[in-house]
Amino acid sequence: MRRNFLAAAALAAASLAPMKGYAQERVCPQFLAQYCVERDDGAKETRMTNPCFAERDHVKVVHPGPCKKD
């Protein structure tokens, strides 16, 4: 009886292991809008994105809407 319980517990742990990595992956909403973003090199550009995609792409959202020309 104890052996069956241990086998079932090991099987359950093994089946949940692949889900652990999947649960950590962030799913971004699929809406897009114009945002002014700043790249790593400091340059600003207007992109069709959202804050979640910007973070994933390693750019910083400056403000919604197109970048203002200086």
DSSP letters of the chain? -HHHHHHHHHHHHHHHHHHHHHHHSPPPP---EEEEEE-TTS-EEEEEE-HHHHHHTT-EEEEESSPPP-
The reply to whether 56 falls in a domain is yes
Confidence of residue 57 (pLDDT cuts 50, 70, 90): very high
Q: What is the mean pLDDT of residues 41-69?
A: 95
The reply to whether 39 falls in a domain is yes
The reply to whether 40 falls in a domain is yes
The reply to whether 28 falls in a domain is no
Give me the domain span that covers residue 52. 33-64
pLDDT tops 80 at residue 40: yes
Into how many domains does the chain fold?
Answer: 1
The reply to whether 24 falls in a domain is no
pLDDT of residue 37: 97
pLDDT of residue 5: 62
The reply to whether 12 falls in a domain is no
The reply to whether 47 falls in a domain is yes
